[in-house]
Structure 1
Amino acid sequence: MSISQSSSEVSLLNINQTVSAVTAGHLSQSKTGDILVVGTPTNVLAYDVQNNADVFYKDVSDGANAITIGHLGRNPLPLALIGGNCSIHGFDGDGNDPFWTVTGDNVSSITLTDFDGDDENELLVGSEDFDIRVFKREEILFEMSETEAVTALCPMHGSRFGYALANGTVGVYEKISRWWRIKSKNQAIAIYSYDIDGDGVPELITGWSNGKVDARNDRSGEVVFKDNFQGTVAGIVQGDYRMDGKNQLICCSVDGEG
């Protein structure tokens, strides 16, 4: 791994391995900024961008197919949860791994949400065997079977969560009940939860392989907003892009269009 300065505003982090997953989040109670966590087929790197320093670097023999950061169950410390081939590791900000469990198949997506309404986060895991599994700490609470590999998961309002499959399906569950789903001939590249119409309840935002971005009502699946990029959507996040104290939805295409 190395850093190269390409301009006064952009630094490149060279991992020298294939990047299989990447996310950023609050991983340390002593630091205010987010930590960048990068997964490869053999390792996971936690990197402090602001201070240009490694936080930890760990071997993960099962690889890092998907990563999420947050509080799991009653654990007081946030964890970087790494989903690999049939296993999940949880690393804290010091690189310790207080959490580990096995899954039924290779992990393809992972997120945290208060699934059962007990004010503690459960772990939602999507896998290549078409299942969505709900973990309460190390134990499986529920399994929901889908029709293809589960490529993305995101928490919505309350106990609802969004999902995307490899066959172009997106939809929303309320706990173990599927509320709606739609299927497209295009691939859902990214899904995100964001209140785009200001009604206090987030919509399911989907970025597609054909450049389309749409927002769907989380209860009905009705489209409330749509737009198009020239190229495939690369990712969706939110942030204070205008630096006015308010977060905006930020979408970017593979061509750099945003």
Structure 2
Amino acid sequence: MISYQFLIDAQLRPDKTPDFSAYPFCLPAVRHLGRLEFDPAVTFIVGENGSGKSTLLEGLAVALGFNAEGGSKNFNFNTRASHSCLHEYLRLARGVRKPRDGYFLRAESYFSLATEIERLDEDDSPINSPPIINSYGCRSLHEQSHGESFLALLEKRFGGKGLYILDEPEAALSPQRQLRALKRIHELVQEGSQFVIATHSPILMAYPEASIFVCTPDGIRQRAYEDTEHYEVMHDFMANPRGALKMLLETPKEP
């Protein structure tokens, strides 16, 4: 059956044997990867800090041809070579369609990305070539708050029919701005885009009919939204914040 989604699945290459005692293959999300099937619209990869979700997302992005520190496939800056070799061991299945647009957003290196855009725009460029910042709303990303610059990326830079890999896009966004980002993601999905997102945000994870994969000690497991720890913790806390805090803060220390 022909698939028209951009990214179909990912798994470790059978022709290469990694050292599962070494990083990043010792991470449960990588060691027990199996076959990760992506949703045609939105796939969320979630899990505790250190579970391997960002490492997995980085490996996917680099294997797809994106710069390890973020940006489109045209970016090749490198402020610190810290990405793993996981991309060399991944086998990706892709659909027959090629995305018209694409981007890898990682929150931790977005400042470096903004600096690279300014550097490129300051260099001599071909005649009649518009500045790169024009695609981000014509305003320096460094002259905006972190959250504003993230939204400029989503609302100005991203177009339809794109493949977007986002690592914790909620990092700089208030709850209200997360809702705004969710609306923009939906607009782009309706225009034929596909998203793979690593997140801690129960707001973003609520996107209707998205596929949610949880990185557990035993590997990656698909879960319904209401069955994720992110939803359960937030739901229980908001239902009774005083009771939750009383239980948390009055719990005696272990001897």
Higher helix share: 2
Larger Rg: 2
Q: TM-score, normalised by structure 2?
A: 0.30
Higher strand share: 1
